[in-house]
Amino acid sequence: MRKFTFLFCAIGLLAASAGAQEIAEAAGGSFALTLIMRWVHVLSAITMLGGSLFMRLVLKGALTSLPQAERETLAAAVRKRWKMFVMLLTTLLLVSGFYNYLMVTRHAHEGEGTYHMLFGIKFLLSLGVFTLAMFLIGSSGLAKKTQANDKLFLTLLALMGVGVVLIAGYMKVM
């Protein structure tokens, strides 16, 4: 089963990067680097959004069946483990996103005001996702207040993440 899953993911990634060679060459960049950065960006976004959705839709519900002490212990352990991913994924998304925009898509959509406006909205929404994700894993006073109402903030995080993906999908077909 794992082999089929990997195969379908690889085919999906290749399909998602269709046209990347022409875009990379038009922008004067390397096709291999453009493709790798696109894959890094897509996989990081999938992982960040998928993890957030899992935490909101599955983990939050499962935690309610545990006694309070066990619930807090498990939630703290999940936050500690998820923190590594959030930090890494945020970095990868920012690096690959800036590369993709500055080296590839900005040139391919030169003069298209609507595209760049949507990029700005997507970028600001992404910064909101990163900030909220950091509060949900952090240890500051504000982070603790956010975590105390994590059901609301995980819902908001998931909705913003879905919004980013929907905007990105629309931008891809413009």
pLDDT of 12 > 60? The answer is no
- Here the tokens at position 147 are 């975590």
How high is the mean pLDDT of the chain? 87
Give the closest residue to 166 by CA, choosing from 120, 122, 102: 122
pLDDT tens-digit series, residues 29-56: 688 999 999 999 999 999 999 999 999 9
pLDDT of 10 > 60? The answer is no
CB-based contacts of 110, cutoff 8 Å, min separation 6: none
Q: Give me the half-sphere count of Cα atoms (radius 13 Å) on the Cβ side of residue 38.
A: 25
Give the closest residue to 165 by CA, choosing from 112, 109, 121, 131: 121
CA-to-CA distance for 39 and 45, rounded, in angstroms? 10
pLDDT of 15 > 80? The answer is no
Give the mean model confidence (pLDDT) for residues 18-29: 52
pLDDT tens-digit series, residues 114-142: 999 999 999 999 999 999 999 999 999 99
What pLDDT is attached to residue 37?
96
Percentage above 90 pLDDT, the chain: 78
Q: Sign of the CA dihedral 34, 103, 169, 49?
A: positive
pLDDT tens-digit series, residues 92-109: 999 999 999 999 888 889
State the pLDDT confidence band at 2, using cuts at 50, 70 and 90.
low
Ramachandran bin of 111, using left for φ above 0, alpha for ψ from -120 to 50, beta for the remaining angles = left
CA-to-CA distance for 136 and 139, rounded, in angstroms? 9
